[in-house]
Structure 1
Amino acid sequence: MPIEKDSVLPARLDAIDRKILKELQDDGRITNVELARRVGISAPPCLRRVRALEEAGFIKGYRALLDEKMLGYEVAVFAMVHLASQAETDLAAFEDFVRKQPLVRECWMLSGEIDFVLKCVAPDLKTFQAFVEKLTSAPNVRNVKTSLVLRNSKDAAMVPMED
């Protein structure tokens, strides 16, 4: 079902919506005219569709993907955090603490023995060690286990868009 002007986005995306999402994932800087050409519609309805996808939350934002190593962040580490309590207030307090830590790139709450896994970067091991000391002394943290990244075999920031 195509998106009409001023309409609410349908719960199910049509083929053109999916093509738009795929093209924007591949190149978020593409012009609307080029995007419209690639998906096979004219520019005005293409722009309306993109805006509707943004408003509906399918498109969360646009950003540049930076190379952390070129910017001096040579060390990548995963930190597995076990909390002393899993009460909702304690989980929320830990998440708030993590959001304020610039070296933490991602934070995922998990089920099982580990409560959170953090993907972190640092310019060197000394800086990361100082961060780990701060992390282990954070309220409600029982223990932290870290694994240094040796190599990244895949780093896909995109959602699979099957045809």
Structure 2
Amino acid sequence: MPGTRLDAIDRMILSELQADGRMTNVELAKRVGISAPPCLRRVRTLEEQGYIRGYHADVDPRELGFEVQVFAMVGLMSQAESDLSAFEERCRGWPLVRECHMLNGEVDFILKCVAPDLRTFQTFLTEHLTAAPNVASVKTSLVIRQGKGEPGVPFDVLEERLARQA
């Protein structure tokens, strides 16, 4: 099971960094109950093993002038692996696409997009997304507001599950 290779201290480190990636190593060590040098070693190991992929500021798109947020549900004509990979690669090159997830079900991909205004998004939609090779359909939904935007994973749920298995 994923997550079991990590001990309780590693999971606490990840939980704390997920909540506040800017805290100092000294503060992190204090919060997880170990001294600073082993804490730093553990963080470096977690980074090297890919548990920590990076550190980012949680910016507010609307405050920065990106007034339009849209989810686009994309259906492809072909779901051959090469076509799926080609579409994902194309999404990585589109700055307005902030997230791209392949789905099981009625649509092949859902894209989270941001744009400064509706005209910019409509231009992207018509000139890039719907015009892309292998795209059969695109349905869009404009975000009115975000009810929750919690990053990362719920460590407390994992801890409860591990406790039940012990």
Fold conserved between structures, TM > 0.5? yes
- Once the two structures are superposed, the pairs formed by residues 18-29 of structure 1 within 5 Å of their partners are 18-29=11-22
2:39 is matched with 46
1:139 is matched with 133
| Cα distance in structure 1, aligned partners of 2:8 and 2:83 | 43
1:125 is matched with 118
Q: What amino acid does structure 1 have at the position aligned with 2:114?
A: V
- The CA deviation string for residues 36-86 of structure 1, in whole angstroms up to 9 with x for no partner, is 111111111111111111111111111111111111100111000001111
**Sequence identity percentage:** 68
Structure 2 unaligned blocks of 5 or more: 160-166
| Cα distance in structure 2, aligned partners of 1:68 and 1:160 | 24
Deviates more, 1:12-21 or 1:142-151: 12-21
CA RMSD of aligned residues (A): 1.3
| Cα distance in structure 1, aligned partners of 2:11 and 2:80 | 40
2:86 is matched with 93
Aligned length, in residue pairs: 154
Q: Secondary structure at the match of 1:120?
A: strand
1:155 is matched with 149
Structure with greater helix share of residues: 2
Match of 2:57 among 61, 64, 72: 64
2:162 is matched with none
Per the TM alignment, residue 11 of structure 1 is displaced from its structure 2 partner at its CA by: 5.3
1:6 is matched with none
Q: What amino acid does structure 2 have at the position aligned with 1:147?
A: S
- The CA deviation string for residues 65-110 of structure 1, in whole angstroms up to 9 with x for no partner, is 1111111100111000001111111111111111100000100001
Structure 1 unaligned blocks of 5 or more: 1-9
Q: Secondary structure at the match of 1:46?
A: helix
TM-score, with normalisation over the residues of structure 2?
Answer: 0.89
Q: Could you list the runs of 4 or more consecutive aligned residues of structure 1 that deviate by over 4 angstroms after TM superposition?
A: none
| Cα distance in structure 2, aligned partners of 1:151 and 1:42 | 42
Match of 1:81 among 74, 83, 86: 74
Q: Secondary structure at the match of 1:82?
A: strand
| Cα distance in structure 2, aligned partners of 1:39 and 1:112 | 41
TM-score, with normalisation over the residues of structure 1?
Answer: 0.90
Q: Secondary structure at the match of 1:65?
A: coil
Per the TM alignment, residue 28 of structure 1 is displaced from its structure 2 partner at its CA by: 0.5
Q: What amino acid does structure 2 have at the position aligned with 1:142?
A: A
1:34 is matched with 27
